[in-house]
Amino acid sequence: MKHPVKVFKFGGASLRDADSVKNVASILQGYKSDRLLIVVSAMGKTTDALEKVVAAHAGKTGEAYELLEGVKKAHYGICDQLFDKNDEVYAAVNDTFVEIEWILEEEPHDNYDYMYDQIVSVGELVSSKIVQAFLNKMNLPTQWLDARDVILTDDIFREGWVQWPETEARCEKVVLPMIEKGGFILTQGFIGSTQENFTTTLGREGSDYTAAIFSYLLDADSMTIWKDVPGVLTADPRLFDNVTKLDRLSYKEAIEMTYYGAKVIHPKTIKPLQNKSIPLYVKSFKDPDAEGTFISGEVEDHYPPMIAVEQNQALLQISTRDFSFVAEHHISYLFNFIAEMRIQVNMMQNTAISFVMCVNDIDDKVERFIEKIDDKFKVILDRGLELVTVRHYRDDLIESLHEGKIVMLEERLGNTVSMVMKKVPMMKRKI
Ligand code: ADP
Ligand code: ASP
Ligand code: MG
């Protein structure tokens, strides 16, 4: 059902300190007459910090409480600058952090990913409580929505997949009455819940995707993600000079760019929007009146070269232990595990005696995969690689990207080149 709602998403960079929260409120003052559903991420680098708490608890290093104290201190520090000492937000924040303390009091759970989701999700919960309280204080009436009451996922922790029909039904039931009340609705990105009410997360950087889920469910007028960059650029400005802003992009181009690793938008974001032709704006929270990038279904066929880089790649050369060719049944055997472990495969190639694939190297997934197939397959593993993809490439640009790098695997498809690359090791020079 179509609703006159706009969906906004504010990420960690836009909520990194008290001044940033004030800036978000001042942007929202300009949308007082709109019906907004606002999705927020954890503040600044909170998710990274909470990941450390999880690792310390699981590894029983004895540092978990101290690490948690650091996270709490940072949040209370922000509250001190936004609220009076006796504001009720302090109790709300405290009650949310207590959930982690209860987990730390127990022995670490056997299922690391389950424990991870219960702890790390607190980042988004706390952030949403603080921002909601501040918006209300600034005379922007805002209702707080628990995203877990709407987004139902399967029970694969850390990589929950949305169960669409149930999620849609919950959205009608929970969100529509809130929309009717008027004002803003504020909820958390990144988190969902299983049928049994355990918290799940949707994968790192998943808040953009949450905003797209709500946009889809409400058939929103538009979605806007507020970033620390002027819009979608031709490459990551942290890695390349001379990048330029793209004023307009088609859904297809945005899907391709983000699929190959353009970090500005989570790759799952575009599809739900495309399905309902909901336009996406990528705008700068530092310059909210500037135009940003407009992403829609309009086809535009002239783009400059665009580069996406995925770090932390592993290349696996897999061969059979019985020296047979790697045949279809082997590949199906391997992919069963890959699917089960939700390993993301970015490139593959088949030769007579080996099957080569480049995957995202997250935690110990690659080791666990190699262990699982060890009885039947030998694996040569290369880690610490990067996958560089250029859309609308020019040969001179590809050449310059090769400088100082060894290309381990390359694929050219239409106007796209993807290369798995390794830094050339420093050689000793003669004197
Ligand atoms: P958020 O605050 O929403 O979590 P992110 O830090 O995840 O924001 O994403 C914004 C960052 O994405 C930018 O600071 C920029 O360094 C990086 N980035 C990578 N590729 C691009 C690109 N093609 N265009 C713009 N930014 C990009
Ligand atoms: N806070 C989560 C993360 O850092 C989700 C997000 O920011 O999109 O991965
Ligand atoms: Mg992010």
List the helix and strand counts (H, then E) for the chain.
Answer: 13, 16
The finding on whether 44 has its CB within 6 A of some atom of ligand 2 is no
The residue-averaged pLDDT of 398-427 equals: 92
pLDDT of 300 strictly over 80: no
How many domains is the chain built from? Answer: 2
State whether 188 and 45 are in the same domain. Answer: yes
200 lies in some domain: yes
Residues 189 and 47 both lie in one domain: yes
Say which residue, 298 or 264, is predicted with more confidence: 264
Q: How distant, in Å, are the alpha carbons of 41, 103, 243, 304 from that of 18?
A: 15, 28, 30, 38
Query: Is the residue at 260 inside a domain?
Result: no
The pLDDT value given to residue 298: 80
> At 47, which CATH number?
3.40.1160.10
Tell me: do 336 and 217 sit in the same domain: no
90 and 208 assigned to the same domain: yes
Residue type, 164: W
Q: Which atom of ligand 2 is nearest to the CA of 48?
A: 4
- The band of 2, judged by pLDDT with boundaries at 50, 70 and 90, is low
User: Mean pLDDT lowest for which of 78-87, 188-197, 256-265, 385-394?
Assistant: 256-265
Domain enclosing residue 389, as ranges = 306-422
Q: CATH number for the domain including 374?
A: 3.30.2130.10
**88 and 183 within one domain:** yes
- Among the candidates 174, 200, 227, a domain finishes at 227
In a domain, 263, yes or no: no
> What number is the average pLDDT over the span 273-290?
98
> Among the listed ranges 44-48, 164-168, 323-327, which one has the minimum average pLDDT value?
323-327
State which of 45, 47, 210 you would mutate to test the pocket of ligand 2, scoring each by most atoms of that ligand within 8 A of its C-beta: 47
Q: Spell out which residues have Cβ within 5 A of ligand 3, the ion.
A: 11, 205
Residue 430 in any domain: the answer is no
Given 227, 244, 260, the domain boundary residue is: 227
> What are the DSSP calls for 161-192, one per residue?
PB-HHHHHHHHHHHHHHHHHH-SEEEEESSEE
Check: CB of residue 393 under 8 Å from CB of residue 409.
Answer: no
Same structural domain for residues 322 and 195?
A: no
Whether residue 223 sits in one domain with residue 314: no
What residue owns the CA closest to ligand 1's atom 5?
264
Q: Which of 227, 255, 272 is the last residue of a domain?
A: 227
List, for residues 345-364, the tens digit of each pLDDT value: 999 999 888 999 999 999 88
Say if residue 185 is in the same domain as residue 313. no
Q: Answer yes or no: is 70 within a domain.
A: yes
Q: What are the tens digits of pLDDT across the range 136-165?
A: 999 999 999 999 999 999 999 999 999 999
User: Do 200 and 112 share a structural domain?
Assistant: yes
Nearest-atom number in ligand 2 for the CA of 123 is 1
Q: What is the pLDDT of residues 93-133, one digit of tens each?
A: 999 999 999 999 999 999 999 999 999 999 999 999 999 99
- Evaluate: CB of 245 within 6 angstroms of ligand 2: no
Using the structure block, give the residue that is written with the tokens 């960690």. Answer: 12
Please provide the average confidence, as pLDDT, over all residues in the chain.
Answer: 95
pLDDT for 431 equals 67
Whether 429 is in a domain gets the answer no
* pLDDT for residue 346: 95
In a domain, 239, yes or no: no
